[in-house]
């Protein structure tokens, strides 16, 4: 489609045109049923097949071991901020958090409402421009788990490697970089992610968790906030966000058709390099926010000489079909979110626009 926007939104974010077209074709009549999948019972064989296929595709593409559960939940990653300590932070234990930016801070804030939560490391003193060194992470002896945010969408930083936590479960909020690169799932006790950046549309939250962590939740927690409720019912205890799960299924098939996670990671590196090169080669006209060693492959954050120029950049970019380049309101500046479904052509067009804008305003 010639009129597709250059979509750099941070979330909900770009979906592949092929996925949207397939959903459009199947919207009214799914699999010859005479119904949209939105109209079907989640107890029926057709929806359950889509649901189970999505789980299996995730296992295949992400290399999820057999002793892990794959759950489709609701409430976004923000609900997981509370569910995790409610289910896993026992009395006498501490929840340890690596403070890397806005989303890590929100998760930490919720944990402190539930029990004892401590900072294991922090880059706050450096304005969250970097990921703390793994050697700086201090896990308390009584730790129930260590929580990390693998990619900070607002600051534009990302873990390049993950800490070895031994017997302490490592929990990762991968909302903004899941399936963007291969990950050794066995290093984690739990991974969770909102779907609306790399997995599909908003409405469904993925949880990948070791069975021992989700098989016996405390009996004092409300039913819907217990992991064992969902683990023992194949995420079908209540009505799931069925259309969102269906679109996740289509998105996973798209990832597979495009070579799998390793191929997606190579494509991501190639396309984001275009924009980082435009920043680094600008002689200071564009300034990357994150330290080079901590730069995200998903969210490219940068500033310009003045806020007036930044506003002009946003205005002109919108006139040229670019969407979502304004930085988060809490930090300002500019941000290009280059998730899996953002095409190479969009990143190339942005790099060219940046060069042209600098020629005219530098």
Q: Half-sphere exposure (CA, 13 Å, Cβ side) for 197?
A: 27
Per the annotation, the verdict on 280 as an active-site residue is no
In the set 29, 66, 69, 103, the catalytic residue is 103
3-state secondary structure of 175: coil
60 CB-near residues (< 8 Å, 6+ apart): 256
Please spell the DSSP secondary structure of 189-203, one letter per residue: SEEEEESTTTTSSTT
Residue 251, H or E segment: helix 242-257
Please spell the DSSP secondary structure of 269-290, one letter per residue: HHHHHHHHHHHHTTTTSSEESS
Per the annotation, the verdict on 197 as an active-site residue is yes
In the set 197, 228, 254, 326, the catalytic residue is 197
Cα–Cα distance measured from residue 5 to residue 220, given in angstroms and rounded to the nearest whole number: 48
**Residue 147's beta-bridge partner residues?**
97, 171
**Residue 6's beta-bridge partner residues?**
322
In the set 69, 173, 254, 326, the catalytic residue is 173
Q: Tell which residue, 180, 169, 147, has the closest CA to residue 265.
A: 180
6 CB-near residues (< 8 Å, 6+ apart): 320, 321, 322, 323, 346, 349, 350
Per the annotation, the verdict on 173 as an active-site residue is yes
Residue 71 phi/psi, 5° resolution? -115, 140
Q: Which two tokens stand for residue 226?
A: 């217990």
Task: Answer whether 70's CB lies under 8 Å from 206's CB.
Answer: yes
Q: Half-sphere exposure (CA, 13 Å, Cβ side) for 55?
A: 20
- Exposed, middle or buried, 251 (CB in 10 Å: 0-12/13-18/19+)? buried
Known catalytic residues?
103, 173, 197
């Amino acid at each position: 489609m010639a009129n597709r926007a250059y979509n750099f939104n941070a979330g909900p974010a770009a979906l592949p045109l092929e996925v949207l077209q397939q959903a459009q074709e199947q919207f009214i009549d799914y699999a010859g049923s005479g119904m949209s999948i939105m109209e079907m019972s989640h107890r029926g064989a057709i929806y359950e097949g889509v649901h189970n296929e999505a789980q299996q595709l995730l296992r295949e593409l992400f290399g999820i071991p057999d002793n892990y559960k794959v759950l489709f939940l609701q409430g976004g990653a923000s609900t997981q901020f509370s569910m995790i300590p409610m289910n896993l932070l026992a009395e006498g234990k501490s929840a340890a958090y690596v403070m890397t930016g806005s989303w890590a801070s929100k998760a930490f804030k919720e944990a402190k409402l539930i029990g004892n939560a401590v900072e294991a490391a922090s880059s706050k003193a450096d304005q969250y421009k970097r990921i703390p060194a793994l050697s700086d992470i201090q896990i308390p002896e009584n730790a129930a788990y260590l929580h990390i945010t693998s990619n900070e969408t607002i600051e534009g930083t990302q873990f390049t490697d993950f800490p070895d936590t031994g017997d302490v479960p490592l929990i990762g909020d991968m909302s903004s970089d899941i399936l963007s690169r291969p990950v050794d799932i066995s290093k984690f006790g739990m991974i969770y992610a909102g779907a609306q950046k790399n997995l599909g549309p908003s409405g469904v939250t993925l949880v990948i968790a070791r069975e021992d962590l989700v098989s016996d939740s405390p009996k004092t927690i409300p039913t819907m906030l217990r992991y064992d409720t969902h683990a023992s019912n194949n995420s079908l205890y209540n009505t799931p966000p069925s259309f969102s799960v269906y679109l996740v299924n289509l998105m996973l098939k798209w990832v597979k058709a495009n070579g799998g996670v390793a191929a997606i990671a190579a494509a991501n590196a190639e396309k984001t390099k275009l924009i980082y090169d435009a920043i680094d080669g600008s002689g200071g006209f564009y300034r990357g926010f994150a330290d080079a060693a901590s730069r995200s492959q998903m969210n490219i954050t940068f500033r310009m000489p003045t806020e007036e120029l930044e506003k002009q950049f946003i205005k002109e970019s919108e006139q040229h079909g670019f969407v979502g380049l304004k930085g988060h309101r809490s930090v300002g500046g500019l941000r290009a979110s280059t998730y899996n479904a953002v095409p190479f052509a969009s990143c190339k067009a942005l790099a060219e626009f940046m060069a042209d804008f600098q020629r005219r305003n530098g």
